[in-house]
Amino acid sequence: MNIPQLIPVGDPSAETFTINLGPQHPATHGVLRVKLEMDGEFIVNAQPVPGYIHRMHEKMGENRTYAQYLPNTSRIDYLSAMTYTHAFVGAVEKAAKIEVPLRAEYIRVITSELNRISSHLVGWGAWIMDLGGFTPILYAFDDREKILDLLEAITGSRLTYCYYRFGGVCDDVDQTFIDGCKAFVPYMRERMKMYKKLVTGNIIFRKRVEGIGPISAEMCRKYGACGPVLRGSGVNYDVRKAEPYSIYNQFDFDIPVYQECDSLARYLVRMDEIEQSLRIIEQACAKIPEGPFQGKVPRILKLPVGDTCFATECGRGRLLVRITSDGKEEAYRIRLRTPCFTNLSLFEEASQGMMLADAISLMASLDLVIPDIDR
């Protein structure tokens, strides 16, 4: 891998200036601030300053019952709300030993994967927009609209779904939804071909991402990076395979892994993941059984004392929910370990010596959602 060595000319400590990227900046997709110490166009040090939309979700978890807290989880990473509620619901189910009917698990897998595709589409479009290409994001939103319509029909909401319930899902899906998903799969595959022609093969795009922002597997390990960032560094880790939850072990899908460690690898991982999600949806739609969609759950839900950890693979990586219960209706402590937090934490080290525009490309390749960092 030929990574261009961009070393600032001269003594970097002699003449640097500080520049504030954000909190209101087009490339930070929200209110993230990055304190950049610059030597001309080269970054000497980049220190992210999160916390502008910190909402203390973890404290809220201590003041609410588990059911009341459930909608909170979909507000953390608003782009992959399904997988976030899945993590919380899964943790509670694991602690309370609630059985989930098979149909509900299928519905969860289908909706989670649809949500993952829509999340990747937004990340994809926003990335190209950060690189100065405006059109792809609107194409992405066009396709995402199809997913949102499907999910809206069954959940009633378009962004912050609160569809999963302890022991199942809120409402059953109908045949229209299943047919819609079945129709969506070939449609999206066609669109992926178009995306490949429009963006992946574009020479300017390749030059902007190829060899830019190297993040080694060792660095991922030290920082706990996850999701496409990790898989773009050649580590075959996906929570769906490593800690199989729900019924993911019943499906045939691959974990896309690229060894290049650069932004392009992360990009390709995301594009391939869309394809793999389509595969899962296809299989799940074919096999979804009849039956109840909601298991038996006690009216007053109290978890047994102790810790329970549950992780899911969200659009941006591994979300770990750790619930500590003292046997009451509310949790004693809820810890949310979010993927963007750890992914951004390596930005400081990874961006050293880069040019500003490349750092933007690197930041976009991390696919950040700011509420997910700040929680």
Partner 1 sequence: MSSSIEQLAKEFAPLAVKEMVQLPPALVPKPAPAPKPAAAPAAAKPAAVPADPSVVGRVIPNPPSVAPTPAPKPAVAAAPKPAPAPAAPPPPPPKPVQIWKFEDKGLHLEVTVEPANVVAAAEIMDRHGFAIDAVTGMDWPTQGLLEVIYDFLHFQTGERVAYRARIARNDPKIATISKVFPGADWHERETHDFFGINFVGHRDLSPFMLPDDATYHPLLKDFKA
Partner 2 sequence: MIESIFKFFTTEPYWTLTRSILYLVGICIFVAANAAYLVWVERKGAGRFQRRPGPTESGPWGLLQPPADGIKLLAKQLMAPPGSDKILFWAAPLMVIAPPLVCLAAIPFGNNVLARDLNIGLLMVFSFGSINVMALMLGGWASRNKYAIISAARVVSQNVAYEIPMLLVVITIIMVTGTMNLQEIIVQQAGGFWNWNILRGIWDFSGGGWGHIGGNLLAPVTFLIFYICMLAETNRAPFDMAEAESELVAGAFTEYGGMGFGVFFMAEYANIVVGCALATILFLGGWQSGLGSGFGTLLTSWGVIGTVIGVGFFFAKMYFLIFSVVWIRWTFPRTQFYGLLNLSWKILIPISLFTLLLTSVLLKLPRLF
Question: Rule CB under 8 A: which residues touch partner 1?
Answer: 50-51, 54, 56, 58-59, 62, 91, 94, 220-225, 230, 235-237, 241-243, 305-311, 318, 320, 322, 324, 326-328, 332-333, 335, 337, 341-342, 345-346, 349, 374-375
* Nearest distance from C-beta of residue 333 to partner 1, angstroms: 5
Question: How many angstroms separate the CA atoms of 129 and 69, rounded?
Answer: 35
The residue behind tokens 């939804």 is: 177
- Which residue number, 105 or 143, has a Cβ lying nearer to partner 2? 143
Spell out the alpha helix ranges (H) of 2-157: 57-63, 66-73, 81-96, 102-130, 135-155
Cα–Cα dist 8/137, whole Å: 33
Asked if 261 and 217 count as a contact pair (C-beta separation under 8 A), the reply is yes
**Considering the complex, what minimum distance in angstroms separates the CB of residue 259 from partner 1?**
14
Q: Residue 138's binding partner, choosing from partner 2, partner 1, none, with beta-carbon cut-off 5 to 8 A by kind?
A: partner 2
Contact 83, 112 (CB under 8 A): yes
Does 130 participate in binding partner 2 (rule CB under 8 A)?
Answer: yes
Least distance from partner 2 to the Cβ atom of residue 32, Å: 14
Decide which of partner 1, partner 2, none touches 182; Cβ closer than 5 to 8 Å per partner kind.
none
Site string for partner 2, 13-52 (x = CB under 8 A): ----x-x-----xxx----------x-xx-----------
Supply 200's token pair: 């992946």
Closer residue to partner 1, CB minimum distance, 45 or 200 = 45
For partner 1, give the closer residue by CB, 116 or 240: 240
- Find the part of the chain contacting partner 2 (CB under 8 A) among 93-101, 124-132, 222-230, 307-315: 124-132
Phi, psi of 260 (to 5 degrees): -75, -20
Nearer to partner 1 (CB atom), residue 56 or residue 153? 56
In sequence order, the β-bridge partners of residue 308 are: 323
Cα distance between residue 150 and residue 154, in whole Å: 7
Q: How far is the CB of 25 from partner 1 (least distance, A)?
A: 19
296: Cβ contacts below 8 Å, ≥ 6 apart: 98, 99, 167
CB of 60 to partner 1, least distance (A): 10
Q: Which is nearer to partner 1, 176 or 236 (CB)?
A: 236
The partner in contact with residue 375, picked from partner 2, partner 1, none with C-beta cut-offs of 5 to 8 angstroms by kind, is partner 1
What is the separation, in whole angstroms, between the first and last Cα of the chain?
Answer: 36
Residue 131: name its binding partner from partner 2, partner 1, none (Cβ under 5 to 8 Å by kind).
partner 2
> Burial level of 345, CB count in 10 A (0-12/13-18/19+)?
middle
| Dihedral, 192, 193, 196, 199 alpha carbons, nearest 10 | -70
Query: Choosing among partner 1, partner 2, none, which partner's interface includes residue 355 (Cβ < 5 to 8 Å by kind)?
Result: partner 2
For residue 77, give every residue at least 6 positions away whose Cβ sits within 8 Å of its Cβ, in sequence order, or none. 84, 119, 314, 315, 316, 319, 338, 339, 340, 369, 371, 372
Which of 87, 91, 121, 128 lies at the binding interface for partner 2 (CB under 8 A)?
A: 128
Is 202 a binding residue for partner 2 by CB under 8 A? The answer is: yes
**In the chain, which ranges are E strands?**
17-21, 33-39, 42-49, 164-165, 168-169, 306-314, 317-325, 333-337
Nearer to partner 1 by C-beta: 182 or 328? 328
Do residues 69 and 59 make contact, with C-beta atoms less than 8 angstroms apart? Answer: no
List 54, 55, 196, 207, residue binding partner 2 (CB under 8 A):
207
The 346-365 contact track toward partner 2, x by CB under 8 A, reads ---------xxxx-xx----
Q: What residue ranges bind partner 2 (CB under 8 A)? A: 6, 17, 19, 25-27, 38, 40-41, 128-135, 138-139, 142, 202, 204-205, 207-208, 355-358, 360-361
